[in-house]
Amino acid sequence: MKISSAFVLTLLTGALAAPQALVKSESEKHDVDVTAMVLQGSRFTNAVEARFEEVGVTLDMRDVAADAVEGEEDIVARGAKKKAAAQKAAAQKAAAQKAKAQKAKAQKAKAQKAKAQKAKAQKAAAQKAKAQKAAAQKAKAQKAKAQKAAAQKAAAQKAAAQKAAAQKAKAQKAAAQKAAAQRG
**What is the rounded distance in angstroms from the CA atom of residue 96 to the CA atom of residue 103?**
10
Say which amino acid occupies 152: Q
What pLDDT is attached to residue 180?
Answer: 86
What pLDDT is attached to residue 85?
Answer: 86
Which pTM does this prediction carry?
Answer: 0.36
Which helix H or strand E contains 123, and what residues bound it? helix 72-183
**What is the rounded distance in angstroms from the CA atom of residue 27 to the CA atom of residue 34?**
11
| 81-92 pLDDT, tens digit each | 788 888 899 999
Integer CA distances (angstroms), 122 to 9, 71, 110, in order = 70, 75, 18
Say which amino acid occupies 96: A
**What is the rounded distance in angstroms from the CA atom of residue 101 to the CA atom of residue 107?**
10
In the DSSP assignment, the letter for residue 32 is: H
Closest CA to 65 of 52, 82, 50, 83: 50
What pLDDT is attached to residue 73?
Answer: 52
**What is the rounded distance in angstroms from the CA atom of residue 59 to the CA atom of residue 34?**
28
Q: How many CB atoms lie within 10 A of CB 62?
A: 19
* CB-based contact 58:76 (threshold 8 Å): no
pLDDT 10s digit of each residue in the chain, 184 long? Answer: 567 777 777 776 665 555 455 445 555 555 555 555 555 555 555 555 555 554 454 555 555 545 544 455 555 556 777 888 888 999 999 999 999 999 999 999 999 999 999 999 999 999 999 999 999 999 999 999 999 999 999 999 999 999 999 999 999 999 889 888 888 6
* CB-based contact 79:61 (threshold 8 Å): yes
What pLDDT is attached to residue 23?
Answer: 46
Per-domain residue ranges of the chain: 1-69
What pLDDT is attached to residue 36?
Answer: 56
Integer CA distances (angstroms), 97 to 89, 92, 94, 127, in order = 12, 9, 5, 44
